[in-house]
Structure 1
Amino acid sequence: MTSPTPQLSPTDFYTLKDKNDSLLLAALNVAVLMKPYDGNHLELDDIIASDGQLKQLPPEWFTFGEIEKKAGVDLAPDMKVEGPEGYGSRGRRRDFITDESFSIDFTAQETRLRTMEAYYDLDRTDMIAEPGRFFAKKRRSSKIPEWSTLLIGYDGEPGKEIYPLWYYPKTSMEKKGKQSLSDSNVLTWPMTFTAKDDPTYESLFGFGIAGTGFTKEMAEAMGITLTGGSGQATKTVTLPAGTTGGTWTLTVDGKTTAPIPYNADGAAVTSALAAAQSTATAQGSAGGPFTLSDATNVSANGNALTGGDTAIAIN
């Protein structure tokens, strides 16, 4: 027996459209970081902690510093598709992806050694670096240098940061833009890198969104269901030993409380969270430690505490 077709309720155009301004992400700032490709890869836990805070990268990673504003950073995916066509058929009968690439285009402004090394492919073995002079020659090599590349954008505000991020395990220089020497511009380093397939990473690149501003509400609006891991775990907040006075604030999933007295108990902390429109709850005696539930990204500010250290531990 055939099931009857479900009857859907009437709606209107704007309900169907369901626009959401909170999902307009921007890269108000951006960091471009690289390291010479060595087959060792970053995973998400190497970049972002479970509470949404950025992590310090290993020492082999370097930054290009400030990127030229008018040029920005252009990310361009490209794909080529081919396939057989039949006589008398319109269009391809089957599609095959024959090539897939991704280019990263930016202009570095700061004259750093690692920037010059990437742009010119400098040979450090013959480099002269003495007081009053620096000189290096372009490397004579048939092999194009390869790099691992990480881009981290910045949106949001302090305490509610959102970091769109792109990780390319293997890239190489595709082309170099011209350098213009004039009395009205600084020396710039325009570069385009292309992502290359890396079998050990099993992907051309990875993309994600992180930060304390990446809340459960935002994830749900994006259609992302947070499951398992630190997103469902409880957090323990511990004020520093020896605290005798002052106040502190707690930020949970982008919502920051008003100042909380140093000797508040779990009920008072829960009330402060509720006043900040957070659904998280806290349990603990006066002065803590506090166990937080329904909290994904948690940070705290103890600069207004007195009597000892001001660093609040979150585990």
Structure 2
Amino acid sequence: MPAADFTAMAELRQSLIRKALRYAIFAADSSASAVSAPFDSGGVLQTLPSGYVPVGFTTTDGVTFSGDMSNSDVESGQSSSPTRSDVETDTQTAQWVPQETNAAAVALYENLPLAGSGSLPELGSATWTWSRPKTPPTRYRRLVFIAEDLNKETGNAIYIVRHFPSALRTGREDEQWARTEALTRGVTYQAYIDDVLGTDSVTWIDGPGWRDLAPLSDEVQQVSITGGPTGGTYTLTFDGQTTAGIPYNASAATVQSALEALSNVTDGDVVCTGGPHPGTPVNVTFGGQYDGEDVPQMTGSAAGLTGGTTPAVVVTTTTPGGA
């Protein structure tokens, strides 16, 4: 096996360290549509279905997603470690502390509907009032969490969208009134399986900045010999450098060797396939120092070819680099 390059093996990429530079929480009653496609085919963020309302500002702790998992182990007399383990429970919760006194924050804290009968009226249009029922209702919600980050190289947005299609309030923090702090109503919601979607949580990552991370295409140029020559040689010129004569019936390996002998091409910069000439084209794929780049198109000279009918060297770019 070849010697390892640790840096290459580790694949450390700062561009993949994500932060929630901005984030927002949205809530809807269970009657609202579940989110199925937060992005279009081009990675553009789409509006949420009708019925989702924003929670607004939260404390600097943001949103904490927690998990609770338990396993059932089988222990055997012949082993000090369990001989079998199966997942019994695997639940997910989201906890956050709203700072705004808006309809969404109050409804989520007090277990009120977000729309329809029993919901709070439009902000400022009437008195807000609610009372605690003798028997608290079991009220499932749909929750959406959206975080925005940036691709530091392009400046384009990267979005992380997490959807709890069926969530239930399982905890709430103390509501404290004080002159020195904002009035807050912290809540915890647990995700439950949605019968239609068949999951308790769906997460998407996309956006123009995410699409920018896709590897760029390596350029592929095709070298064809026309006119049916029966002897002689031809040359290829790449970015001002011209090869030595290449036999009219060269294999792909021979073409690759001729290109690698140029001062501006090193081993690994080109890979040639196809051939042999003159009947079959040779495909030249650029990599190495030209990886993912739009490189100059080669030109060919058929001056040294003999026989046939007006032989020529035709170079075409079949896959542009950098796309």
TM-score norm. by structure 1 comes to 0.61
Separation (CA, whole Å) in 2 of partners of 1:149 and 1:96: 29
- CA shift in 2, pair 1:77/1:132, >3 Å: closer
Select 2:26's aligned residue among 11, 30, 33: 33
Q: Deviations over 1:94-142 (max 9, x none)?
A: 1111101011011111111222111012375497888774322134444
**Unaligned stretches of 5+ in structure 1?**
1-7, 222-276, 280-292, 297-315
Deviation of residue 147 (structure 1)? 0.8
- CA shift in 2, pair 1:39/1:188, >3 Å: closer
Separation (CA, whole Å) in 2 of partners of 1:175 and 1:30: 22
Separation (CA, whole Å) in 1 of partners of 2:200 and 2:53: 21
Where does residue 195 of structure 1 map in the other structure?
Answer: 191
Q: Deviations over 1:9-41 (max 9, x none)?
A: 102332222210000011011111111123842
Q: Note if 1:13 corresponds to 2:6.
A: yes
Larger-Rg structure: 2
Where does residue 113 of structure 1 map in the other structure?
Answer: 103
Separation (CA, whole Å) in 2 of partners of 1:35 and 1:140: 24
Retained in 1: the 8 A contact 2:35–2:48? Answer: no
Deviation of residue 73 (structure 1)? 0.8
Separation (CA, whole Å) in 1 of partners of 2:119 and 2:10: 62
Select 2:144's aligned residue among 150, 153, 160: 150
Separation (CA, whole Å) in 2 of partners of 1:127 and 1:11: 64
Identical-residue share of aligned pairs (%): 18
Aligned length: 217
TM-score norm. by structure 2 comes to 0.60
Separation (CA, whole Å) in 2 of partners of 1:48 and 1:154: 13
Give RMSD over aligned pairs.
3.0
Retained in 1: the 8 A contact 2:25–2:146? Answer: yes
The correspondence of residues 224-235 of structure 1 with structure 2, limited to 5 A, is none
Structure 2 residue identity aligned to 1:118: L
**Unaligned stretches of 5+ in structure 2?**
217-291, 295-319
The correspondence of residues 170-181 of structure 1 with structure 2, limited to 5 A, is 170-181=166-177
Separation (CA, whole Å) in 2 of partners of 1:159 and 1:19: 21
Retained in 2: the 8 A contact 1:122–1:137? Answer: no
